[in-house]
Amino acid sequence: MGKFISGTISFLIAMVLQTGCGNPETEGGGKEIIYAGTFSEEGLIVLEFNRAERSFTEIQRISDIEAPNFQALHPAGGFLYSVSSQGVSEDDNYGSIAAYRIDPETGKLTFLNIRSAEGRGPCHISIDPDGRFAYVSNYSSGNISVYPIREDGSLGEAVDVVQHEGSSVHSRQGGPHMHSIIPSEDGRFIYASDLGIDKVKIYEVDRQSGVLSPAETPYVENVAGSGPRHFTIHPNGDYAYSVEELSSTVAVFSVDRQTGALEQRQRINMLPDDFDGNNSAADIHISPDGRFLYATNRGHDSLAIYSIDETSGELTFVNREHTRGGHPRNFAIDQRGDFLFAANRDDDNIVMFERNRDTGELMYTGSEAVVPRVVCVTQLFLD
């Protein structure tokens, strides 16, 4: 493991983060930062985004950890967490999770500490809405690990590791493959999408310890062979959406807020009827106003756009937009709702689209950032 730069640790709260605090609709004069996770030896790349000029400028590159792919911001401000398949030592077969302090003026990162992911192939990390815990999804080992977040932003030792069991019908489903964890808005539940067993598992979180226990309804079963990958909850808390990687579909669920239970109410295809190539669905997000849902196709290399019925939560197809790059593994919707940033791994670019707030449709702006093998993009506003 490379030598990390350490620094004075302080708790920073004056930020507007994608996952939580502040009002991103406010037109302030602060800087805007994009954090780009990669599958590259180039590491984690920090970009400054100029909204007026629609341009990106690289301001930092952290290459101590190889392929720091998925990342998440602390909801209270000041910290970023990133996962990698690289272990904490040369003989460690597990991946790792690193914590960084964010400079409140520049957005640059300073390393805090690193922990074992307690599993192989970590591919997703999310943070408890109150900032108490970090949840890591280990794809290759099919397990979940939970970490306490200390007041200084660093990570404690794992307080729980939950191993999934089972398989399903597809050739890639010989065992469990955890792909993402999304907490409920109040943090009482987490939704764990396991591609390998075709289930979104539901856990209740002990708010003091972070230990997980199966919810009253412990899972919802996706269609066999569908491969649930990423998951998102509507801002109103009543509906949730699962992008299914292997079948290139989106499943729509109603949410019981008291028990955390999910009930499927719709399933919709992401691809054109005449498409006969190979495809795998990837990421899914909802616009800040809750009116539109977006999901990416890898192979067709597109963003599928749907309007959301405000009464039922069900989806209606709007359009598809080519991502201007191959393998759009991840994307982020601008917190102010103006833009969408698509991360195209195979063309090494982050492509910016302008959003039509009324129709949900996307327009290519011509603005791109060059980032080697980019697989995750996260937005942050500085005061």
Sign of CA dihedral 291, 129, 212, 115: positive
Distance separating alpha carbons of residues 56 and 370, to the nearest angstrom: 9
Tokens read off for 288: 């800040």
Distance separating alpha carbons of residues 181 and 184, to the nearest angstrom: 10
Distance separating alpha carbons of residues 295 and 218, to the nearest angstrom: 26
Distance separating alpha carbons of residues 151 and 345, to the nearest angstrom: 35
Rounded to 5°, the CA angle 250-212-160 comes to: 110
What's CA 118's distance to the chain center, in Å? 19
**To the nearest whole percent, how much of the chain has pLDDT over 70?**
92
SS3 347: helix
In a 10 Å sphere around its CB, with 0-12 CB exposed, 13-18 middle and 19+ buried, how is residue 32 labelled? Answer: buried
pTM of the predicted structure, to 2 decimals: 0.93
The pair phi, psi for residue 347, each rounded to 5°, is: -115, 10
Q: What pLDDT, on a 0 to 100 scale, did the predictor assign at position 29?
A: 57
Q: What pLDDT, on a 0 to 100 scale, did the predictor assign at position 9?
A: 30
Distance separating alpha carbons of residues 65 and 320, to the nearest angstrom: 35
What's CA 160's distance to the chain center, in Å? 21
Distance separating alpha carbons of residues 49 and 352, to the nearest angstrom: 11
Sign of CA dihedral 166, 224, 172, 40: negative
pLDDT digits (tens, 9 = 90+) for 2-35: 333 333 233 333 333 333 333 454 454 589 999 9
DSSP 293-309: EEEEEETTTEEEEEEE-
> What pairing do the DSSP bridges indicate for beta strands 328-333 and 315-322?
unpaired
Q: What pLDDT, on a 0 to 100 scale, did the predictor assign at position 48?
A: 98
Domain ranges of the chain: 15-382
- Residue 270's nearest CA partner among 287, 253, 258, 282 is 282
pLDDT digits (tens, 9 = 90+) for 151-173: 999 999 999 999 999 999 999 99
Q: Which fold has domain 15-382?
A: Methylamine Dehydrogenase; Chain H (2.130.10)
What would you measure as the largest C-alpha separation in the chain, in angstroms?
Answer: 57
Q: What pLDDT, on a 0 to 100 scale, did the predictor assign at position 76?
A: 80
Average pLDDT per block of 10 residues along the chain, 383 residues long: 33 34 49 97 97 97 94 93 95 96 97 98 98 98 98 98 98 98 98 98 98 98 98 98 98 98 98 97 98 98 98 98 98 97 98 98 98 98 90
Q: What pLDDT, on a 0 to 100 scale, did the predictor assign at position 383?
A: 81
